[in-house]
């Protein structure tokens, strides 16, 4: 299996630090709002890669953090007049719900920045002792970027070029020794949460969080560090500088980064009105469609999001799901007999599609080609399976298709379709509950229907519904 390593800019054979085990860290979201579809891409693609590693027999320790203290969280907390923890806890819960709806497996550990403050203070203290960091007069602690000889090795940026880009930037109070130095710890401002430290009452910089959480849950040196390509510089570059200076060993053996997500060939932006949360998409599509769409391109390629492409993804996914449900019906109708020799030979032919699938995933997690292999298997099944076959043969085909779908995070086992009459009955119950001011039950029914793919709209004419 080969992985494109951002550090070396080439595909490299994957050899874990410890045989049979993989340590993997993926930068998670800052939790101040609902996650958007740009956040969803690394969640889906690296979850799929993790699933493939597990399919190959690796024991994967998968760590993905939540940044739960940040300027944006504090701003939102102040706007609502609540403690920042109220905001972060709310959106961690919402994020976990979206992840579950996208069939993203929970990480082995989801550490929170606020639970790891002491570890950050300890690492900063180590960096000061080693001469890689210094405390300014106001208690801010900075990292001496120039002291780390390999700075820029991930982003392939030159320090002198970076310096040139900083010439016109005025440094507040001139507390930095060098304009390229970055913050490890910063003093509190009025109304902000803070922690005690040897330097001042304050909170950590963003970069130190991931260095500390990776070290605690995965060790000083890890196999894979992953995230969006927007994190290469400065976040991941700074992580390397901190971790390698503090720990004295290479930080990560392989670096994986997914490409940007564009909306109708434009960068996603609130100002352009093309900003979509995962919840926005869920109003129109089952999130399995979003997942399938994300896997339709190579993870390193830019991905363009549009209504047409989502419809294409929906149709493609339906082909696969229909093949699965058809096999299920055929199994029920088939004679409970064992495979004939001809069926056994036919089943063995499908191994070629598994080989194609694995070859694609072994080639830097090429999910687009892996999906193509699944479509080929579906075509073969549609041509060579019927209720006239033995149940064992049909069962084997279903299991083969289901195994490959599971690697992609596609749920082949479909929920039983609700009858219109059942939907109407639940809507009536909800309406009656609202009239009785039993809003908890009304909300419960709405959520129940939503989970079954039924979307409600309250209008003046009454409740309208549609299937997602």
Write out pLDDT tens, residues 386-441. 999 999 999 999 999 999 999 999 999 876 555 677 788 888 888 888 888 888 88
Q: What is the CATH classification number for the domain harbouring 9? A: 3.40.50.620
Residue 266: inside a domain: no
Residue 238: is its pLDDT beyond 80? yes
Q: Which residue matches tokens 């082995």?
A: 108
Helix (H, G, I), strand (E, B) or coil at 322: helix
Res 251: pLDDT:
98
Residue 269: inside a domain: no
Same domain for 51 and 159, yes or no, is: yes
| Rounded (10°) angle between helices 391-408 and 351-362 | 10
Q: pLDDT tens digits for 271-297? A: 777 889 999 999 999 999 999 999 999
Residue 333: inside a domain: yes
Q: pLDDT tens digits for 36-48? A: 999 999 999 999 9
Same domain for 116 and 218, yes or no, is: yes
Mean pLDDT of the chain: 93
What does the pLDDT average to over 304-314?
Answer: 95
Same domain for 231 and 293, yes or no, is: no
Same domain for 252 and 301, yes or no, is: no
| Among 51-60, 402-411, 442-451, the least confident range | 442-451
Residue 171: is its pLDDT beyond 50? no
Res 464: pLDDT:
82
Q: Which residues contact 430 (CB under 8 A, 6 or more apart)?
A: 441, 442, 445, 446, 456, 463
- pLDDT band at residue 174 using 50, 70 and 90 as cut-offs: low
Q: What is the CATH classification number for the domain harbouring 356? A: 1.10.730.10
Residue 441: inside a domain: yes
Same domain for 395 and 457, yes or no, is: no
What does the pLDDT average to over 218-247?
Answer: 98
Same domain for 401 and 424, yes or no, is: no
Residue 370: inside a domain: yes
Dist. CA 331–CA 294, nearest whole Å: 32
Dist. CA 371–CA 359, nearest whole Å: 12
Res 357: pLDDT:
98
Res 167: pLDDT:
45
| Among 2-6, 144-148, 190-194, 238-242, the least confident range | 190-194
Same domain for 253 and 290, yes or no, is: no
| Among 119-123, 340-344, 350-354, 463-467, the least confident range | 463-467
Res 465: pLDDT:
85
Range of the domain at 159: 2-258
Residue 52: inside a domain: yes
Domains held by the chain: number: 3
């Amino acid at each position: 299996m080969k992985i494109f390593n951002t550090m070396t800019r080439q595909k490299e054979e994957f050899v874990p630090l410890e045989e049979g085990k993989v340590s993997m860290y993926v930068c998670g979201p800052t939790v101040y709002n609902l996650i958007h579809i740009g956040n969803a891409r690394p969640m889906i693609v690296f979850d799929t890669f993790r699933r493939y590693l597990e399919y190959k027999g690796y024991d994967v320790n998968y760590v993905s953090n939540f940044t739960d203290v940040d300027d944006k969280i504090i701003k939102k907390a102040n706007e609502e007049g609540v403690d920042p923890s109220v905001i972060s806890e709310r959106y961690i819960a919402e994020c976990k719900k979206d992840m579950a709806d996208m069939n993203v497996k929970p990480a082995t550990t989801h550490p929170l920045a606020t639970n790891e403050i002491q570890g950050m203070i300890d690492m900063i203290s180590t960096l000061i002792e080693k001469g890689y960091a210094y405390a300014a007069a106001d208690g801010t602690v900075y990292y001496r970027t120039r002291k780390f000889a390999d700075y820029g090795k991930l982003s392939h940026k030159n320090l002198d070029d970076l310096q040139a880009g900083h010439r016109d930037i005025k440094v507040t109070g001139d507390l930095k020794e060098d304009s390229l130095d970055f913050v490890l710890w910063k003093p509190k401002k009025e109304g902000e949460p803070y922690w005690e430290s040897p330097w001042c009452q304050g909170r950590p910089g963003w970069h130190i969080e991931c260095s500390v959480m990776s070290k605690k849950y995965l060790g000083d040196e890890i196999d894979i560090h992953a995230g969006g390509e927007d994190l290469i510089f400065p976040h991941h570059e700074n992580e390397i500088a901190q971790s390698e200076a503090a720990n004295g060993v290479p930080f990560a053996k392989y670096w994986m980064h997914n490409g940007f997500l564009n909306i109708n060939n434009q960068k996603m932006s609130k100002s352009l009105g093309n900003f979509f949360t995962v919840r926005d998409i869920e109003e129109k599509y089952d999130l399995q469609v979003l997942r399938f769409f994300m896997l339709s391109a190579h993870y390193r390629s830019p991905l363009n999001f549009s209504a047409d492409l989502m419809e294409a993804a929906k149709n493609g996914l339906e082909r696969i799901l229909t093949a699965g449900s058809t096999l299920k019906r055929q199994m029920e109708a088939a004679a409970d007999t064992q495979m004939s020799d001809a069926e056994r030979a036919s089943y063995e032919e499908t191994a070629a599609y598994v080989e194609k699938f694995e070859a694609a995933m072994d080639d830097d997690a090429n999910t687009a080609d892996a999906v193509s292999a699944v479509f080929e298997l579906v075509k073969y099944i549609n041509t060579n399976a019927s209720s006239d076959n033995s149940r064992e043969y049909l069962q084997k085909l279903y299991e083969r298709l289901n195994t490959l779908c599971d690697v992609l995070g596609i749920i082949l086992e479909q929920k039983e379709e609700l009858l219109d009459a059942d939907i109407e009955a639940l809507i009536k119950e909800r309406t009656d509950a609202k009239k009785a001011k039993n809003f908890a039950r009304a909300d419960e029914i709405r959520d129940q229907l939503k989970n079954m793919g039924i979307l409600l709209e309250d209008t003046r004419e009454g409740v309208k519904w549609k299937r997602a």
